[in-house]
Structure 1
């Protein structure tokens, strides 16, 4: 069974609960302690009860053998043995007696206090052998049926009858069973008490932990003003104070970062706005200079061409910065319209005079409801980036895919997929993770390129605002080149600026160098 399956089973059984585990641990400790104490107490009491009963019976039996049996003749009669056995058993010790003697050599006689209760067959063979070999008192504990018995035997020193004792230990067994029940009840009470104690301890310990967990969740949800009420001086109180200090520090840092970010966005927006006025004048001047460029002095013409080129580049940069600030401020909105995707892609390519360099594979009639202007920005950046860094021919294919597995028919084709592929050297592996990063340049040796490094970043933002996304990778079919795949929902009516996270900001995936749309 896998670790995940075990965790799922334990979670289903509730074993992941700290409260339950604490109760179980307390219960196990109490159970082990109670069982150990009860077992030791039972064993000590058992030995004490049996030893006391045994010593009393054996002592009385020894005394009776010395007083009554020793006074019998060396070869007593059956009647004398019977009388002596009955007299020995009549005492307060409560045992049966069996006396074994001889009328003549090899002719044994037996006298029993209760022949129905105790016979020579009830004496274990090993005990009879021990008594026959030595003149000492020997005893064993045996069992007949379900009743335990004490059996003992001895011989008269110097010759004479042999005596055996047979005493029931049933009363002692009943007393020990009562003791065992009492100890079992005490163990159960100890276990129940430990469970209640564990519950109380868990409540005392876990309530602050639960409050801490809830506060941490609220903090993770962005409620940075969350604080815990601190009472006491124990470790949990110190943990709560540490949490409050961390939350306060985090709130302050986030506020500072938000203020700096807002200030930075405002600065970029203000700067871009302020640059537009002089740029408008510069653009007008550069257009005049460009028209007169053929009649200029050959020494001046290159400088004029450079000014025209850099002015246009600066103008594109300012427009891109304005677009970025709108995305960062959350003010970018979709203006939706029903468009034929093939016509839209064709218009984008034709407007930039790329018809000869782009191979388009798109069927007419694929309709989508999206923002045409933003789709044009995305396509211009992807195709322009492919032409600039991959070279022609660039292949653009348009298709639809099923959003849910198993869907059939036109209604299931709810995702628009546009693939832009070039046949260049591809994107270096160390560059892939950064192609959609702002201002990222794949080569440090050419920091001043025609692009600003914002084109693919803006393309990604426009895809995200539609609820889609863009991925970048290298072709694996052997022809080489980079492959950018744009995925958009065919109907973005339910997508708003706040819903940009539907596609996820997967900016740590496949990337390439960021270019700018012409």
Structure 2
């Protein structure tokens, strides 16, 4: 029961917090109510306090007038007595208090008058009506009056035994006589004055509450007048961002909100015009690329046939012609690869690329890629080291596209490995599979991690065009990873080499949250002196693309961003990846040979 109540309380608090964060109207009305409540409450307190003081002052003035008259009258009546033991003194006391009390000793709840001779214990005191005033008459007040001072106090008591306590304003004054000083006390009930103060207090509180409610309603109305157009603008902006470029706001009136709506509509019109123009230019560009690529196929096929014939007979030519035939054959291969890549890019741009996902064991796919690039690795003098699990690694992927991604990554690492080993590692966990390709070449300069996936970008523009590919391989790989809903990421540091990581969901359509392998290698420097970033693309079931991750700070450790977008940094001294690949690994190393890049 206690846990259920706690859960309900937490859910209610979370709901209130969510409403507070999401609703501007709720925040404005709440702040207005709180501020106005504090202001009106403070004002009401001051008003009630002043009213109470005024009522009490009126009561004091009334009692002081009575006390002054009563003192004169009592002194006059007692002036005939010279000693406290005279006969008739008691009768004089009683007649005096009865007169001062109004002559009606049977009245209840009225003014009580008492004469006491505190300095003469043998003299009896007199009270009108006959009640016991000692229960509410404090010793402090008695002592002050005995000392010849006029004093007052407010006390509460039940003088008439009615069962209800009454608040009394008590005034005491010394009365000089020929035989000595006696004390005159007035007990004035404050019931009527309390009723006046209570009525005033209720009126002020009711007025204040009504004012706070009115201010809250006014704040809600004014906020609604302002928030509604903003909400309409937000919904219209969402529709515009969703591709509904014909959405516009309704313009009512000529005030500031109407000006905002008109400006928003003008902005939407300009954006629509620019987007339509850019879409048309993009469509023409894609069509031009596709048409040119297709049109070049026919003459390229003819030239290829002639070049293959010349290349086959090159041994019978002069050395210069033989070299020319070899160059022609090599450049035609590069030209054919370029056309193939351009056609593939045009299919991605047109949105015609389709994913043929099927359960695939990635171990033979990775082995097949390294086997095919082994000859290139030997020519470049770069050993290839493959680390794969002994157990199958099954994932729902398009094997043709995955193989193309790995071929581009491994081939790029071999070409930039400067003769140092290149490691290819395959790992998997319950939700994802990953492949890392690590080289120990010159690495990447600050900011180049974001540029390696751009089309036709080259790390060294001055590098001879005889080496390297078409400049579209990593761009196509990025699009293939995007099509799978996966991540393709890059890390690099000058002199420390580079590492690329491909992460794919085990089941097609799942959204990635982490990777089985680390992006920053374990042998990277403890403090990375360059800033690095990743182009991490994640497409969820709804087809929405995730935001690319922002750059890490220069002090980020080598383990940063291993667990998806929510993990930014990790300890730099961590030696093992967060998830080990399934099963033991088998290292494979190829030979090397001396070839100039």
TM range (shorter): 0.7 to 0.9
Contact 2:387 2:426 in 1 (8 A): yes
Write the deviation string for residues 70-89 of structure 1: whole angstroms up to 9, x where unpaired.
25435262222221221121
Contact in 1 for aligned 2:141/2:153 (Cα 8 Å)? yes
Q: Using the alignment, how far apart are the partners of 2:50 and 2:408 within structure 1?
A: 91
Q: RMSD of the TM alignment (CA)?
A: 4.3
Partner of residue 173 from structure 1, selected from 180, 183, 194: 194
Among 85, 89, 95, the residue aligned to 1:83: 95
Change (3 A) 1:507 1:311: farther
Q: Does 2:243 match 1:222?
A: yes
Distance 1:489 1:38, change over 3 A: closer
Matches of 1:482 and 1:72, distance apart in 2: 117
Q: Does 1:378 align with 2:401?
A: no
Q: CA deviation at 1:453?
A: 0.9
Q: 1:174 to 1:291 in 2, by over 3 A?
A: same
Q: How many residues align?
A: 486
Conserved? CA contact 2:421–2:440, under 8 Å: yes
- Distance in 2 of aligned mates of 1:367 and 1:53: 95
Structure 1 residues 31 and 417 mapped into 2: Cα distance closer, same or farther (>3 Å)?
Answer: closer
Aligned pairs for 1:206-245 within 5 A: 206-245=227-266
2:72 matches 1:66: yes
Distance 1:433 1:97, change over 3 A: same
Equivalent residue runs for 1:157-196 within 5 Å: 162=182, 163-196=184-217
Secondary structure at 2:185 match in 1: strand
Normalised to the residue count of structure 2, the TM-score between the two structures is 0.68
Q: 1:60 to 1:491 in 2, by over 3 A?
A: closer
Q: Distance in 1 between matches of 2:539 and 2:297?
A: 32
Structure 1: gaps (5+ residues): 405-414, 511-518
1:144 matched residue in structure 2: 157
Q: Deviations over 1:9-29 (max 9, x none)?
A: 474473333333233223223
Match of 1:97 among 94, 113, 119: 113
Q: SS at the partner of 2:113? A: strand
SS at match of 1:233: coil
How far 1:322 moved relative to its partner? Answer: 1.7
CA distance in 2, matches of 1:53, 1:203: 51
Q: How does 1:211-360 map to 2 (within 5 A)?
A: 211-334=232-355, 354=375, 357=378
* In 1: Cα distance, 2:27 partner to 2:235 partner: 21
Give the corresponding residue for 2:523: none
Paired residue for 2:450, among 433, 440, 449?
Answer: 433
1:37–1:461 CA distance, 2 compared to 1 (3 A) = closer
For the 8 Å contact 2:75–2:177, the answer to whether it is kept is no
Secondary structure of 1:452's match? coil
C-alpha deviations, 1:218-258, integer Å up to 9, x for none?
Answer: 23323232221121333333333332233223222222222
- Measured in 1, the distance between the counterparts of 2:501 and 2:261 equals 49
TM superposition shift of 1:446: 1.0
Tell me how far apart the structure 2 counterparts of residues 403 and 490 of structure 1 sit (CA, whole Å): 8
What is the aligned counterpart of 2:45 among 35, 39, 48? 39
Name the CA shift for 1:51/1:459 in 2 (closer, same or farther; >3 Å): closer
Deviation at 1:448?
A: 2.5
Task: Give CA deviations for 1:111-138 in whole Å, capped at 9, x if unaligned.
Answer: 524374255675444444444444x654
Kindly indicate whether the alpha-carbon contact (under 8 Å) linking 1:269 and 1:322 is maintained by their aligned counterparts in 2: yes
- TM-score of the two chains, using structure 1 as the length reference: 0.77
- Give ranges in structure 2 of 5+ residues lacking alignment: 1-9, 83-88, 159-164, 379-383, 512-536, 552-597
Partner of residue 109 from structure 1, selected from 114, 119, 123: 123
Q: Is the 8 A contact 2:485 2:509 kept in 1?
A: no
Conserved in 1, the CA contact under 8 Å of 2:113 and 2:129? no
